[in-house]
Chains A and B, each alone.
Chain A
Amino acid sequence: MTATNGITLRVTELKKYYGKIHAVDGVSFVIPSGSVFTILGPNGAGKTTTLEILEGIRVPDAGEIEVFGVRVKQIDREVKKRLGVLLQDGNFEPYLKVKEVVKLFASFFPAALSVEEVLRRVALQEKGSAYIRTLSGGQRQRLAVGVALVNDPDLIFLDEPTTGLDPQARRNMWSVITNLKEQRKTIILTTHYMEEAEALSDYVCIMDNGVIIAEGTPRELAARLGQETIIEFSAGSIDTEWLDQLSSFGKGVRKDGEIVYVETEDLVETMEQMLAWSREKRIPLKNMIVRQPNLEDVFLSLTGRKLRE
């Protein structure tokens, strides 16, 4: 069940200050019901504080929160009955069993799914009698998701759900989130993985220094970079002088490790110049690919930093 106006959460001018530090400085956004809304931002951008306010752990200094069609000053017990929260740094008592943990959290809500149903949803049926301390990282994260879903919530917070997981466990988590999308649950997601944000998000907002600097669908955000195309190749060690030469072929150039990115709005012209330059300088353009800009490029152009820095 979601709000009747099709909006699950509306945040207006949300503020949270710690002395002179403006952790959240007037953040506003709207999350339509049944959508996946992703908040991106480097460390210290204010996304965790924003999330903690919306999860009910912190109290905002100013701003309005409208959740499920009701205006509240802060997230209270009544709202929490309809929230499901996967914390980034939360833990369980290591000496409890999986079933006991699910029962414990189920007891906090007036209505909850059965233990079996929760474990089925996160594929942990065979681990019901296992102690928490014996679970792998991926299994613990799945249990955390299960606990977040124990009350069959309408609004779900997933704070970096795949951080620290191996590729297989990450894929499993994506599958769980995709299932939630199919159930038309409203999800607020934070992640450090751009491909995750692109694959799962309906809307993305990018935060930096406590404010939102860009917002839209992944496609809309990528379009902010105009008609650009990215040419990537592996260069090994390369002189700064040569980078300056490359930059004259396109709109801009940057280097990250051994990878060189050349941005251009005229792909054919830039490619011809680069190939001639490669022959002349005897620099092979290894592993060269041509692609459209993605969220990482958008994030970089907006903040000057990579998301995982």
Chain B
Amino acid sequence: MKGILRVAQAHLLTALREKITLFWFLIFPLFLLAILTLIFGNMGAEGEISFAIAVVNLETDTAGPVDFAGIIEGVFEQAGKPSEEGKEPLFVISSPASGEALEDFLTGEKKATRFGDRAAVIVIPEGFNQCLLLRVMGDGPSSGPDCSLMIYVNEGSAASGMATSIIDQILAGVERNILTSMGRFQEQQAIPTETLWIGSSGTEVLYVDFLLPGIVLMGFFVNGLFGVPGSILFARDKGVLRRYWVTPLTVTHYLAGFSVGHLMLCLVQFAILLLLGRFAFGATVTFCQPVSIFLLLLAAITFLAFGFFVASVAKTANTGMAIGNILNMPMMFLGGLFFPVAGLPLVLKAIVYVNPLTYLAKGLRVSLGTEVGTLSVSMIAVPLAWIAVCVAVASWRLSWDVER
């Protein structure tokens, strides 16, 4: 027992003192956590995305009963102001310079849209008020050029597409208000809708809460896939293991110690990722649920077994690293660690279905409440099956440089 614990301690100390190990086990997951959180962490938060647009009001007749053009212009101006909570406005509205002719301003804004500097340019045509009034009263033509708002967008710009969608929604709301105020639309007859924001406040799932379990699993995965075969094959190739085999330490004792050391390393890795995730990136998940703890342990053991498997099929430490690299990317990105993996082609889906990361990631997130779904037997059975296969292959093939 004393020997097993000393082997575990030696494995842990060696891993923590080796710079390359530290980079892959701790720095890289943290780097990935930081990068992905910064890029995707604010997606969906209210008021955090803003679009540069221009509203060009060419209507000159404002003396009628209702200045529809002014109302629309006012709505967009309002949307261009920061909220009371200090959040970024939805739109950044550009206006003509003092003394600048509207036609020149419109030409400039269209050019800016073409170059991607504007998401959209909304043009309210001259005669818009009169035309719209007639239409609302039911006396005018059903459509006509003067009644149409023109929205110039850049076809190849994602921002244009998103801005158009939002502008359409705003205009629909304006139209409904106008019709309601003029008695042409009964509010109670409208289809009731309720907008629920995800990722803005209250009980929403933050992206970092979705990401952190994936990063933890990725850390365990890299730890097992590279750390385990790297350590074992290096120790075997360099004759470190030989020194053990001439003592009463058996291969079984060594394996037990190595495995304990590996799990301790995973624990250290998990603790650091959790603390930084919570205090540096604002994650709220705690991993305190028994199911989550069980799944974390299962993940660490699964990837430990995976490491033994790689060590058993590789002849040298370098070959082990090469095999690890071949398995690393497809398994990591097709395991749903960082993004959902729905809608993939059939071939890639096959990898998703046999990938233990898929089940562990899903199970862990469901147990933490950061993903919708229910826990299923497959979330435990598939990793267990992988452990059985890997241990069987490793028992058969892994050479320890000693005859038993």
A residues neighboring B (CB under 8 Å): 55-59, 77, 80-81, 83, 85, 87, 89-93, 95-96, 100, 103-105, 107-109, 144, 147, 151, 157
Contact = CB atoms under 8 A, between A and B. Distances in A.
Given A100-B9, A108-B249, 8 more contacts: A56-B246, A57-B242, A80-B248, A87-B246, A89-B239, A90-B242, A103-B6, A109-B248
A271 to B, nearest CB: 51
A105 B248 CA distance: 10
A93 B240 contact: yes
A80 B239 contact: no
B112 to A, nearest CB: 59
Nearest to A147: B243
B248 A77 contact: yes
B3 to A, nearest CB: 5
Interface string B12-24: 0110011000000
A68 to B, nearest CB: 15
Chain B contact surface mostly: helix
A92 B235 CA distance: 8
Given A77-B250, A100-B13, A104-B7, A91 B18 contact: no
Contacts of A147: 243
Nearest to A150: B247
B246 A85 contact: yes
A58 B3 contact: no
Contacts, number: 74
Contacts of A57: 242, 245-246, 401-403
B235 A93 contact: yes
Residue of B235, B247, B402 with most chain A CB atoms under a 10 A cut-off:
B247
B243 A80 contact: no
Contacts of A144: 243
Contacts of A89: 239, 242
A151 B2 CA distance: 15
A59 B2 CA distance: 27
Contacts of B17: 95
B245 A92 contact: no
Interface string B259-294: 000000000000000000000000000000000000
A19 to B, nearest CB: 15
A194 B316 CA distance: 36
A93 B403 CA distance: 22
A211 B3 CA distance: 38
**Chain A to chain B: the 6 pairs with minimum beta-carbon distance, closest first:** A85-B246, A107-B6, A95-B17, A108-B247, A90-B243, A91-B238
B38 interface: no
Residue of A58, A90, A109 with most chain B CB atoms under a 10 A cut-off:
A90
Nearest to B245: A57
B10 A96 contact: yes
Contacts of B185: none
B40 interface: no
22 contacts: A56-B245, A57-B403, A83-B246, A85-B246, A85-B247, A87-B239, A89-B239, A90-B240, A90-B243, A91-B238, A91-B240, A91-B243, A93-B10, A93-B240, A95-B18, A104-B7, A104-B9, A104-B10, A108-B6, A108-B244, A108-B248, A144-B243
